[in-house]
Amino acid sequence: MGQGHGWEGAVLRLLRAKDYVFTVTGAEDVTPHYRRLHLTDGGMLATTGVHPTMWVRLWFSDAGKPHQRAYTLVDADPSAGTFSLEFALHEGVASDWARSAKPGATIEATVHGTAFEHPDPSPTHVFAIGDPASLPAINSLLAALDSSPATIWFEGDPTGLPFHTDPTRHDIRPVDTLSDRVKADLPDLLKTHPDAYIWIATDTRTTRTLSAYVRKELGVPKERLHALGYWRAA
């Protein structure tokens, strides 16, 4: 396994990434554009354990070429060897696979680079920036930092999506364009919460733009910032 994953797979093998095969056991459509799959882990969790925002790389074939996408584990149960994955459905090979996946379907996966470091000291506030693709990670982050109130800028319509939030502690701000709204809101909010933890996980271009802005323009130290591009805009 992994021999057909191209140069990305070769690099991951050099970095001692581990490969597994997951098997679909069920599926449910949360909304017409958001689908949850239930899977067995192929022995992964017994080896890796589980931690907040843990993600895996799934491998797909795109016209014969290897294509990988990262997905955050949902409701992982190491004792049972099961978890779920949630897919924001759009055009692309990953979404096509998720739409058609039925019990018994298998998918190859690689685990590498998914560690989570709890901010120390715990922040008085969390600022999270994401979209439907990173919603499972947002939920996991908020659960891990459950003592900290949070403001979440969310690109798109959150209606019907499985947010695990507490309206008394979590402020969800739906937006059309993340960069403009975050740049408008964040400077004043940071004046109130100078030790906040900022978490950015959206498309690669927006993630780079906002992380550079937060570091260079707002002066947030790197240990109080996490930024990861979850997908690439076409």
- Going along the chain from its start, the domains and CATH numbers come out as 6-111 (2.40.30.10), 126-227 (3.40.50.80)
For residue 122, report the phi and psi dihedrals to the nearest 5 degrees.
Answer: -60, 135
Per the prediction, the chain carries an average pLDDT of 90
d(CA 96, CA 17): 26
Residue 170: what pLDDT? 96
Low-confidence stretches of the chain (pLDDT < 50) are 1-3, 7, 11-15
Question: Which pLDDT does position 208 carry in this prediction?
Answer: 94
Q: How far apart are CA 67 and CA 99, in angstroms?
A: 17
Which pLDDT score is estimated for 17? 66
What the block records as the tokens of 13 is 């093998």
pLDDT in tens, 87-137: 999 888 999 999 999 999 999 999 876 678 888 888 999 999 999 999 999
> CA separation (Å) from 20 to 49, 53, 114, 131?
14, 19, 15, 27
Q: With the C-alpha atoms ordered 9, 10, 12, 18, is the resulting torsion angle positive or negative? A: positive
In this predicted structure, what is the pLDDT of residue 158?
Answer: 92
What's the pLDDT score for residue 18? 86
Distance, in Å, from the CA atom of 117 to the CA atom of 128, rounded to the nearest integer, reads 16
pTM above 0.85, yes or no: yes
